[in-house]
Amino acid sequence: MAEYAEANGLKRMGARPALSTYIKDAFSRRDFAFALSSFSNDAANARNRLGSWWMVILPTLQAATYGLIFGVILGSNRPDNFLPFLFTGVFLFAFFSGAFSSGATSITANSGLVKSLSFPRALLPVSAVIRQFLNLLPQLGVLLVLLLIIQRTITWSWLALIPIIVLMVIFASGLAMVAARMTVQVRDLTKVIPFITRVAFYVSGIFFSVEQTLVNYPYVWAIVKWNPIYDFIELARGAVVVGHTMTAELWIACTVWSLLSVVIGTVYFWKAEERYGRD
């Protein structure tokens, strides 16, 4: 039967293609991922009076709240140039947490789409990442305005944000694909996602200097430096926050994290292509 179908140009619905074919097909349909992320954003904000403005308002309020609370609590122990330090961390972490959370549910939340249309399923977690990237853009605008007001200077290093954001999107895409497959196989993982993101928030140095905090614990510091989210945020701070630098070590770490993430994520997700949409 299989030989007859192949001889007559018929293909098994939902069959997993070769990895190279899969990647080529997904790239050729990249417009689908962009359109889905754009429409998802519009639908999510359609009933809100402020609409897309909430993409900027919520993280800004969050950063302002942390700034008020921890700026007072930390006192003299707070990092130098605290507000730019804090806002950079909060805005970029919001991208990572959003990409992870929405990527994890990208298959299960679109089961109807998965069952009714034939397309590379990897486009769904990638679309979730694109959506978070679109949300990040206006937040970056707010961040740059804040930097200009507080630091009163514009430097060429700000342009380094462009390759940094590209690396972040690549890394998040791989992370989203891994999370999407794991959630399909174990639905209970959706219950622990908020816990995972909260832990990541506190160990990534969003509102405090991890290096200063762990100065007396060199072994712990050596482990914490392997946190990819921390690496990306520190690299971005080095680009835009006065008093911070972009080191070669951070550039290498972020590049390696991005490549490893997207390669492992793509292969891992592709391996289960035939399982998606089959409850």
What are the E-state strand segments in 117-253? Answer: none
Q: Does residue 23 lie within any of the structural domains?
A: yes
CA distance 125 to 8: 34
Q: Token pair 């835009």 is at which residue?
A: 240
Report the range of poorest mean pLDDT among 18-22, 259-263, 275-279: 275-279
Compute, in degrees rounded to 10, the torsion defined by CA atoms 70, 72, 77, 82: 70
Q: Identify whether the C-beta of residue 122 lies closer than 8 Å to the C-beta of residue 266.
A: yes
Residue 79 DSSP label: P
Range of the domain at 39: 17-275
Amino acid 258: pLDDT: 97
State the average pLDDT for the chain: 82
Encode pLDDT of 221-253 as tens digits: 888 888 999 999 999 999 999 888 899 999 999
Q: Identify whether the C-beta of residue 279 lies closer than 8 Å to the C-beta of residue 21.
A: no
Q: Does residue 10 lie within any of the structural domains?
A: no
Given a cut of 50, whether residue 278 has pLDDT beyond it is yes
Q: Rg of the chain's alpha carbons, rounded to an integer?
A: 21
Amino acid 77: pLDDT: 56
Please tell me the total count of domains within the chain: 1
Q: Does residue 11 lie within any of the structural domains?
A: no
Q: Does residue 171 lie within any of the structural domains?
A: yes
Residues 258, 236, 69, 134: is their CA dihedral positive or negative?
A: negative
Q: Token pair 């911070």 is at which residue?
A: 244
Considering the entire predicted model, what is its pTM? 0.84
- Using a pLDDT cut of 70, give the percent of the chain over it: 79
Degrees, nearest 5: CA angle 119-41-62: 130
Q: Identify whether the C-beta of residue 269 lies closer than 8 Å to the C-beta of residue 180.
A: yes
Encode pLDDT of 136-166 as tens digits: 988 898 888 888 988 888 889 999 999 999 9
Q: Average pLDDT of 175-190? A: 88
Q: Does residue 2 lie within any of the structural domains?
A: no
Q: Does residue 8 lie within any of the structural domains?
A: no
Encode pLDDT of 201-217 as tens digits: 888 888 888 888 788 88
Q: Does residue 234 lie within any of the structural domains?
A: yes
Q: Which residue has the higher pLDDT, 123 or 117?
A: 123
Amino acid 4: pLDDT: 46
Encode pLDDT of 28-65 as tens digits: 888 888 787 776 766 655 555 555 555 666 666 666 66
Amino acid 65: pLDDT: 64
Q: Does residue 97 lie within any of the structural domains?
A: yes
Q: Average pLDDT of 166-176? A: 96
Which is nearest to 163 in space by CA: 265, 246, 60? 246
